[in-house]
Structure 1
Amino acid sequence: MTVFLSWRHTPWLVLSILSLISYASAHMIEVTASRKECFFEDLHEHDQMTVTYQVGEGGHLDIDFWLTDPENNVLTKHVRQSTGTTSITAEKDGRYEYCFSNQMSTVADKMVSFNVHGIIYVSEEADVIAPVEREIRSLAIGLTSVKDEQEYIVVRERRHRDTAESTCDRVKWWSVLQALVLFAVVAWQVYYLKSFFEVKRVI
């Protein structure tokens, strides 16, 4: 869920920060092979929007990403990236679309964690902003950045844990295979040496 903060009403500033903490959570989607997933936000001129994403599972951990304006002009494009961040300031009113594409892969599905947040532009001439409101606005932006970093760390930690568990499983089964081969070689040697001591009768 995308959260846009409006600073027009001072009594709601504290509640806005609490809402930011509650709603600025990562979204997790699965982008299947040879497909793409697109989302959009309706922005007004001078509104700001930031998109951060991280590929957590699948293939080589890469994804294509792009963001377009209402006239379908590409504002940002990332090719085969595992993580990325892009920020824009809307130059016109309209629908801004961003897509995650896995069309380069024909087999592997990708799990993508992403977060979208923004700030609604308010002209200082239209509404006088008190110093405390400025500080609260700055704090809210800082909290969003911290939340994005936490989500990035969580995804990376999960990926590293999966890699460590996979490595442990491979070591375990490789050890089992070596033990089986060793027992087979020992059994064959015993059988082969035993044949030298067998008494053969010539009729």
Structure 2
Amino acid sequence: MSAIQRLVLCLSLITAYANAFYFYHEGNERKCFSKELTEGSVFYGNYKVQVYDEALKTYKNIDPSADFDVIIDVEEIFDGDQRIVHQKAGPDGQFTFNTQESGEHRICIKPQSSGWLSKTKTKIDLEMSVGSDTSLDSKKKHTIESLHGKVDLLIEKVAQIKDEQQLMRDREAQFRNLSETVNSGAMWWTIIQLLILGVTCAWQMKHLATFFVKQKVM
């Protein structure tokens, strides 16, 4: 591996670690970190909070029905700590904001709960990315196109199911018509056999009568 390739690999690893990390909380503690952002940037954050289970000795997901919220605040440090984002959400969510001016921003996360959850240890996984309005619009467009593709696929599957159902109905109709034809043919064949049998019996009776007359039996 060349020196340039090693450098590119190192930079990619640094970027990956910079964009995804985790940290620990104690109770309802508020933790913040700063990030330099340029005007017109779009900051996207995706977080997940887990609580420490003393019995299992590990962190686990929070029950969605639990009384547990997360407060997200974003402040412009360069403008007297002016708050530009104040969001209350669940233990697993995301937040997005657009930067109006270039400068250092403070992103703060604070778990908010009551009861025993307010005193437990928490772990927060945070993944963040920074892009432009254009890239965000591109992502939205890609998402919409992906949804359109899924809808089209569902429509095709529904049409295919309808075609298969119609084919089954056609085959059932053909089988029913064939059965009716066979039953009708069997009925007529039975009638013909009975007629032939009747004619045969009548002819035999007449022949026997003539025979007995000739023999002077009758």
TM superposition score category, shorter chain reference = 0.3 to 0.5
TM norm structure 1:
0.44
TM norm structure 2:
0.41
Larger relative contact order (Cα-Cα within 8 Å, sequence gap ≥ 6): 1
Please identify the structure whose Cα radius of gyration is greater.
Answer: 2
